[in-house]
Amino acid sequence: MYKKSRIKYILGAILASAIFLTGCGARQTIEVSTVGEEWMEEVGLNEEKSVDELYEAALKEDVLIIYTVSTRVTKTKEAFEAAYPGLCVEVRDLRSPDLIDAVIANFESGKGECDIVICNDCSGDFKDKLIDTAMVVPYLPQDIKEKMKPGHVGQYISFLDEAEMIYYNSDSFDKVPIKNIWELTDEKYKGRIYMPSPLRSFSTYAFVGSSTLHDDDFISSYEEYFGKSYDLDKTHTPSENFWLTVSPNMVFTNSSDEVMEALNDGSADFGIMVSSKMRYREVGYSFEPIYELNPFTGCRTTNAVMVATGAKNPNCARLFIRFLLGEADGKGEGYKPFCTQGTWSARVDVPDGNDVPQNAIDLIDADQDYLIKNKEKIREFWAECLKSH
């Protein structure tokens, strides 16, 4: 186990150093903070080992503990334990903010009670609090790294793409009922639009926060819909005015699950939630995505898989990450639970779970650095929006 004194040393080093190793050229390079790299070298995280060698070493370790925001990891755990008899995995399902707090507490305690962290990484909090502080580090075997799509390997390993998007109740409407995002401000939809609180959901926060970079788009879509020049309160930006105007129509929830249920039971006409919920349509849930909307229908998001610095079971963690990503050929059972409707593969050799490619959907990108820099302003704005709810 990584000794507590070493953890304290790293914490001190983090404050003194923010230098990162960067890659260049077409080949993707894993980037690790210098303090995180020290621990990786100490436990041999990046030493080349065969699957059999990792399995043999993992059998000498303890129960693998995973902190995750995705319940689908449970299916991967079951398949992993069947594939590797004698290995045990414990999955702890946490909401994103709680997961970050738990990882920080685990790191500072020096107990090493977390091995793998799986979290939505688009809001900036994950990067700011865990990656930039080296509390989690990236790991990816070379035979899988070379199969990853561009932009998925770096400071963190993005193993699955999703989106935070607008959906409609397909029992109430037989086709997409809106073409412009400003239509959601119509009073007839009061209490009929459900969205996770941006202060509770990382993916929702990424969507609403990144939308503030698109004021010109809000102006042009406003003028198209209302047929007049943009004339709203100049004390707020156009993006802020949109959210201030639409918020009275909204019901804020704690999670995308609650949004999905509201769409399905008829409580909601529209819902904003993570795209992975689209898999529930296969079992009869009544909602459909809005792929085309002026100026956009949502925001691209992604999920990261990382190793917790100080993990007690580094060999089992490596073996599990290989399994999660479908092994070298991409055909392993571990990735299959994630290749469902509403997801897009991180690998060039594994098809997307969704029939519609992400680049064909009206989506914006999450700007992590912007979200980190403007965190206080964005949170204060949404705290005011939520006061009346």
Q: What's the gap between Cα 327 and its chain centre?
A: 22
Q: What is the 3-state secondary structure (H, E, C) of 229-256?
A: CCCCCCCCCHHHHHHHHHHHHEEEECCH
What is the helix (H) or strand (E) element at residue 302, kind and residue range?
A: strand 298-308
pLDDT of residue 213: 97
* Residue among 208, 121, 202, 219 nearest 166 (CA): 208
CA–CA dist 91, 70 (Å, integer): 10
- Judge residue 233's burial from the number of C-beta atoms within 10 Å of its C-beta, 0-12 exposed, 13-18 middle, 19 or more buried: exposed
CA–CA dist 210, 368 (Å, integer): 9
CA–CA dist 87, 63 (Å, integer): 7
Interval 237-247: pLDDT, tens? 999 999 999 99
Interval 179-207: pLDDT, tens? 999 999 999 999 999 999 999 899 999 99
CA–CA dist 166, 124 (Å, integer): 22
Instruction: Name 235's Cβ contacts closer than 8 Å, sequence gap at least 6.
Output: none
pLDDT of residue 110: 87
How confident is the model over 335-343, as a mean pLDDT? 96
Do domains 4-159+301-355 and 162-300+364-387 share one topology? The answer is yes
389 band by pLDDT with thresholds 50, 70 and 90 = confident
Domain parsing of the chain, residue ranges: 4-159+301-355, 162-300+364-387
* Residue among 20, 32, 13 nearest 137 (CA): 32
CA–CA dist 384, 249 (Å, integer): 15
Q: Are 137 and 309 in contact (CB under 8 A)?
A: yes
pLDDT of residue 128: 92
Is it true that domain 4-159+301-355 has CATH number 2.40.10.10? no
Q: Are 321 and 116 in contact (CB under 8 A)?
A: yes
CA–CA dist 156, 222 (Å, integer): 37
Tokens 């303090």 found at? 35
Interval 135-185: pLDDT, tens? 999 999 999 999 999 999 998 999 999 999 999 999 999 999 999 999 999
pLDDT of residue 31: 66
CA–CA dist 329, 141 (Å, integer): 12
pLDDT of residue 313: 97
Q: What is the mean pLDDT of the chain?
A: 91
pLDDT of residue 27: 53
Pick the CATH number of 162-300+364-387 from 1.10.260.40, 3.40.50.300, 3.40.190.10, 3.40.50.10470: 3.40.190.10
How confident is the model over 32-49, as a mean pLDDT? 83
Does the pLDDT at position 125 exceed 80? yes
Percentage, residues of the chain above pLDDT 70: 91
Does the pLDDT at position 34 exceed 90? no
Three-state SS for 148?
strand
For residue 295, say if its preceding peptide bond is cis, omega within 30 degrees of 0: yes
